[in-house]
């Protein structure tokens, strides 16, 4: 069995460089949620030269919106949303220091080019396993746009948050390579 890589935020290029498409990762540290509406607001702040609600250098963005938390938990279910909806915003955020994004589904060629240029990872979280993912979240707080409800920007403190590398720093794409590996009987 291949053990997962362990990463801690803020992410650094030298820690991400060994990763390859298909590798398993356990992420610990701070991650920020941001979906469509939050990305639009962040873009507007950048365009107007306003301060951003969280630091981008080394940041990890999780394309997700949490459900209300039950009394005995830090957060409700929180699963990934389709990443392609954030593709118009991703290249600029990578250029400003975001080092990884988390979601589900493939990224556009333009986003993959920006990932290579700025040395950024794209990782997938388990779709359909939102309740399981929430077990790795130690705390949650709103850091921007509370009026957006579940689409606000949340700061999650996570420990051993399970992810799969989809796009690595070397041009690997697990959505393209994975089926071929399977057919050949390779992990």
Residues catalogued as catalytic: 39
Q: How many residues does the chain have?
A: 187
One DSSP character per residue, 42-107 reads HHHHHHTTPPPSS--TT-EEE-B-PPPPPTTSSS----B-BGGGGTTTHHHHHHTT--EEEEBS--
The residue with tokens 């990932």 is: 115
Element (H, E) at 25: strand 24-33
Contacts of 27 (CB under 8 A, 6+ apart): 7, 8, 9, 60, 123, 158, 160, 161, 163
Give the residue from 102, 76, 118, 114 showing the smallest Cα distance to 166. 102
Token pair of 120 as six digits: 């950024």
Token pair of 29 as six digits: 């540290």
Other Cβ atoms closer than 10 A to 92: 16
């Amino acid at each position: 069995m291949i053990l997962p890589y362990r990463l801690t935020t803020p992410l650094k290029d030298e820690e991400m460089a060994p990763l390859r498409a298909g590798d398993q990762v356990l992420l610990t540290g701070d991650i920020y949620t941001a979906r469509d509406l939050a990305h639009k607001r962040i873009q507007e702040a950048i365009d107007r030269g306003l301060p951003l609600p969280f630091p981008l250098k080394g940041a990890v963005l999780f394309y997700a919106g949490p459900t209300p938390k039950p009394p005995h938990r830090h957060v409700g279910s929180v699963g990934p949303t389709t990443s392609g909806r954030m593709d118009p915003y991703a290249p600029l955020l990578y250029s400003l220091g975001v080092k990884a994004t988390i979601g589900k589904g493939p990224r556009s060629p333009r986003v993959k080019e920006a990932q290579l240029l700025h040395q950024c990872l794209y990782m997938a979280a388990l779709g359909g396993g939102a309740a399981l993912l929430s077990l790795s979240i130690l705390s949650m707080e709103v850091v921007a746009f509370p009026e957006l409800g579940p689409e606000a920007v949340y700061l999650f403190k996570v420990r051993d948050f399970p992810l799969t590398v989809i796009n690595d720093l070397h041009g690997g794409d697990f959505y393209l390579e994975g089926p071929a590996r399977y057919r050949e009987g390779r992990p």
